[in-house]
Structure formats: C-alpha cells, structure tokens
C-alpha cells in the first residue's frame, strides 16, 4: 500500500510538472518553425516581408534557390528541423520579416527565443561575384524598434540558441527580425518562439521522465493487484 501511494504521488507530481512545462512552452508565434517551401525572395506562411527580400532556404538550397549550395560554410541541419529564413544586409540594403503577435498582456514579461546561424553566401566565380561573409547579429524589433540583438556570429556551420526578455507595451505588437549592423552578411534564423515569463522554457529533465515512468508503472501494478 505504501508503494502504491508513493507511486501515485510520483506519477501525479511528474504529470503536473510536465503539464506545467508544456503550458509554459506554448508559443504565441504562428509558424515559429518557419516551415514552408524553399523560395528566393519569400517567407513561410504566417510571416510577411517588411524590408528587402528575405529567403526561405535549407541546407541544400541557399537563398531559396533550388540546388544552390554556395554557402560560405556548409550548414548543419537546423535544431528546429526543416526550412529556415535567411536575412541579408549590405550597407543601406536591409532584409526584415515579421508578424503581428496576438493576445499579449500589457505589462507582462515575455521571452523571445530563436536559433541563429551564419553560413554566409559565397559565389566568387559568378559573372558578378556575390559574397556575404561578414560577422553580424540578429536584431529583434517590436513595432519597428530594436529591443536588442543576439551574439555577433562569424562564419560557422553551427547554430546558436539565443533569447531576449521584454515587457509587452501593447496587446498586438509587430515582432520582426533583421541584422543588427550594416556589415555585409547573410545570417539564418529558425525556431522562433515567444512565451510568457522571463526565461526560456526548459525541456523536462531525464529524471522527470523516469519519475513519471516509475509512477505510471506503480499505478499499473496497483491496479492489477486490486483487480486480482
């Protein structure tokens, strides 16, 4: 009987923990995974171009051009999977995309998070060579005003997880992304999320899963004992 009570409590505790994590992780962003077809000068559903010509791409289709692998460095797959958006900048030429968020509470703290990569664009042998190989950072904007930016990234095959905390000043602000300075560069962004609270949502620890599993097994055994 003691085992049954403990198991029940363990299962309930784990389930509550998981449900709380899931609720906290619910993102306000529409299509934050940036899922769509690769396309040059286009963004996935749920997003709109605000400046320049951002692209939807993946590891085999740079700048959204089919079969183009002219990266500065070969990218790894996005941690969020699938396609992502590429943002370029060259002096006064800027690429920016975004969407209107809905249902924010004025005065509430939120965390915006994303994955960033700098794989660049390198076409040195083209009739008109194109090279976007500089270091830059992804700038986050609300209603066209910067609220901060991520780390400055040099060319690398890796993705970096980044986040910023902000306090909502309206219920439906426009969230958008561009590069932070005018240095000629082409960066990638994926896995965009906005969640309530001042920290990024944590993935349940392995111990939580083990606790839930042990609790559920205990419940099953107790039920069998009762039925027997």
Q: What is the rounded distance in angstroms from the CA atom of residue 193 to the CA atom of residue 176?
A: 12
Residue 91: per-residue pLDDT: 96
The residues, ordered by sequence, that sit 6+ positions from 58 with a Cβ below 8 Å of its Cβ are 38, 78, 82, 83, 84
110, 115, 116, 119: CA torsion to nearest 10:
-170
pLDDT per residue, tens digit, the chain (228 aa), is: 222 333 344 443 444 344 334 434 599 999 999 999 999 999 999 999 999 999 999 999 999 999 999 999 999 999 999 999 999 999 999 999 999 999 999 999 999 999 999 999 999 988 889 999 999 999 999 999 999 999 999 999 999 999 999 999 999 999 999 999 999 999 999 999 999 998 544 444 444 445 445 544 554 544 444 445
pLDDT for the residue numbered 228: 53
Cα 2 to the chain's mean position, in Å?
A: 44
For residue 199, the model assigns a pLDDT of 55
Rounded Cα gap, residues 160 and 118, in angstroms: 9
Q: Would you say 218 and 226 are in contact if contact means Cβ atoms under 8 Å apart? A: no
The model's pTM is 0.77
Task: Return the pLDDT at 127.
Answer: 86
Instruction: Locate the domains of the chain by residue range.
Output: 27-202
Q: Residue 207: what pLDDT?
A: 46
- The topology under which CATH files domain 27-202 is Jelly Rolls (2.60.120)
pLDDT at 195: 98
The pLDDT, as a whole number, for residue 126 is: 82
């Amino acid at each position: 009987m003691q085992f049954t009570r403990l198991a029940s409590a363990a299962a309930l505790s784990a389930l509550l923990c998981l449900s709380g994590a899931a609720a906290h992780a619910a993102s306000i962003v529409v299509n934050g995974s940036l899922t769509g077809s690769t396309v040059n000068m286009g963004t996935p559903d749920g997003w709109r171009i605000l400046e320049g010509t951002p692209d939807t791409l993946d590891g085999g289709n740079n700048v959204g051009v089919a079969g183009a692998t002219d990266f500065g460095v070969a990218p790894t797959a996005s941690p969020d999977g699938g396609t992502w958006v590429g943002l370029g900048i060259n002096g006064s030429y800027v690429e920016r995309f975004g969407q209107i968020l809905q249902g924010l509470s004025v005065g509430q703290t939120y965390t915006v998070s994303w994955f960033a990569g700098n794989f660049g664009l390198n076409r040195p042998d083209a009739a008109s060579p194109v090279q976007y190989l500089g270091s830059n950072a992804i700038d986050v904007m609300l209603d066209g005003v910067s609220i901060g930016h991520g780390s400055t990234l040099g060319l690398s095959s890796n993705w970096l997880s980044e986040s910023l905390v902000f306090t909502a000043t309206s219920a439906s602000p426009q969230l958008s992304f561009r590069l932070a300075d005018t240095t000629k560069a082409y960066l990638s962004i994926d896995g965009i999320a906005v969640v309530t609270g001042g920290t990024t949502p944590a993935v349940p620890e392995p111990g939580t899963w083990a606790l839930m599993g042990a609790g559920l097994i205990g419940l099953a055994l107790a039920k069998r004992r009762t039925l027997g």
